[in-house]
Amino acid sequence: KYPDENDYESFLSKHGGSSNAYTDMEDTNYYFSITPFADDEADQEASATSEALEGSLDRLAQFFVAPTFDPSMVEREMQAIDSEYRNALTNDAWRNFQLLKSCANPKHPFTKFGCGNYETLTK
């Protein structure tokens, strides 16, 4: 429905917004913001805000309805994940968490490698 790789971000930017995501232990959270219009001419601007929200939600939903797996895009994302992993290696809180995981029952899923790096993502 939206074949341009940057359509979502472009649409949000056009409406004064942005997006991001983060992954926890059990879920990934996606979020975005758009800027509501000022209160003068409320009816017209409420309609524009509603259209911006609808367009934003539709574009976000398409990531799950019809995901695009362009090889160059996948490669960039794997590189980004690997970069986040490498940055975490020097983060004391992350290292303490890894120590905690290493002390857990080795048969429990908690001990599994949880974030991914380039090596694990290319297997």
pLDDT confidence of residue 48 = 75
Q: Which residue from 27, 21, 23, 25 is spatially nearest to 112, judged by alpha carbons?
A: 25
Task: Tell me if residue 23 falls in helix, strand or coil.
Answer: strand
User: In the predicted model, is pLDDT for residue 33 greater than 80?
Assistant: yes
pLDDT confidence of residue 45 = 62
pLDDT digits (tens, 9 = 90+) for 69-113: 889 999 999 999 999 999 999 999 999 999 999 999 999 999 998
Average pLDDT estimate for 11-17: 95
pTM of the model: 0.75
Two structure tokens written together for 68: 């695009």
Q: Does domain 1-68 have CATH number 3.30.830.10?
A: yes
Domain parsing of the chain, residue ranges = 1-68, 69-123
In 3-state terms the chain splits into helix, strand, coil percentages (rounded to 5) of 55, 10, 35
Band of the pLDDT at 50, cuts 50, 70, 90?
confident
**In 1-123, at which residue ranges do the beta strands (DSSP E only) sit?**
18-23, 28-33
